[in-house]
Structure 1
Amino acid sequence: MELDDLDDMAALLGDPEVMSFYPAPKSRAESLDWIERMQLGYAEHGHALWIIETHDGAFIGDCGITWQSYNAVPVREVGYHVRGDQQRKGYATEAALACVELFRQEFAPGVLTAIIHPDNGASRGVAENLGMTHIADDHAHPWIVRTVMGMDVSPV
């Protein structure tokens, strides 16, 4: 993810449909901050969210592995956001499966998670397609209890 992805990322993260399970859609400035945090993740950890594109280069969304936490436990999480008009076409699952393989090659053995709003059935479906199951509930935020999906990943 680069600074020249700002227009696409601002449209994605500013879309109320895409961000319906977040407290609010993000502004252009917040989208720039998002990109800068991803770049910091690449520099510090070697991973963060990457841009998802079709084979012909059309922007679809983002997906990758980031450090998150649930109940004060730091974990690597696979996360994904897909343009509203491109959802339910398998893009999130395809990109997330590539992240599982990256995790297997770089970090296994270990647990890979997906921390999901409890009402986000589509995201939970992606996690289940990866082989994840419900492993915990995250009580870290006073306004919501999030669902933590996870899977043990063994080395190649």
Structure 2
Amino acid sequence: MILETERLFLRELEQGDLSALKRILQDEETMYAYNGAFSDEEVQQWLDRQFERYEKYGFGLWAVVLKENGRMIGQCGLTMQTWNGDEVLEVGYLFERNFWHKGYATEAAIACKEYAFNKLGASEVCSIIRDTNQASQNVALRNGMKIKDAGIKHYRGEDMKHFRYVAGK
């Protein structure tokens, strides 16, 4: 276990989490900010990228698990992202649609922000969010972040406007 909150614990993703990841990454509505659901191969690549991040940085997106029943309901964690030519530390989150609007993303994101400040010694963290993703923007606001700037991310053949929400220690 990496982190624990009132209702959740966060741990490294494992190969055995593939079916839970598919519930998230293969849901069209959940993945609208990514221009659609992932194929089986893309889900495995996503999982493999987390393993690479754990090896390289000691962190990545982690499995978010409900304490009450041990069910993985999402992922949240820290990743290094390229933003306007710089490497920035991002708090990222993506949850199974059945668990939206229950405060889980905010609870996990706050814990990850505190982890970045207190365990990694970061002075700043951000969340890079597509301009149309109001729910994720609301999580960033509840995580004490404010819009610092905007930019374009090229993803799946399309240029997409994103905002960078930032919080400092």
The TM-score with structure 2 as length reference comes to 0.86
* Separation (CA, whole Å) in 2 of partners of 1:80 and 1:105: 19
Paired residue for 2:71? 58
Paired residue for 2:118? 105
- State whether structure 2 residue 126 is matched by structure 1 residue 120: no
Any unmatched runs of 5+ in structure 2? 1-12
Residues 72 and 140 in structure 1, CA contact (< 8 A), matched pair in contact too? no
For 1:148, give the aligned amino acid: R
How much has 1:72 moved relative to structure 2?
Answer: 1.4
Any unmatched runs of 5+ in structure 1? none
Paired residue for 1:12? 24
* Separation (CA, whole Å) in 2 of partners of 1:131 and 1:88: 18
**Could you tell me the percent identity over the aligned residues?**
33
- State whether structure 2 residue 45 is matched by structure 1 residue 29: no
Calculate the aligned-residue CA RMSD, in Å.
Answer: 1.2
* Separation (CA, whole Å) in 2 of partners of 1:43 and 1:6: 19
Q: 2:106 aligns with which of 90, 93, 97?
A: 93
- State whether structure 2 residue 65 is matched by structure 1 residue 49: no
Paired residue for 2:160? 144
Paired residue for 2:8? none
For 1:37, give the aligned amino acid: R
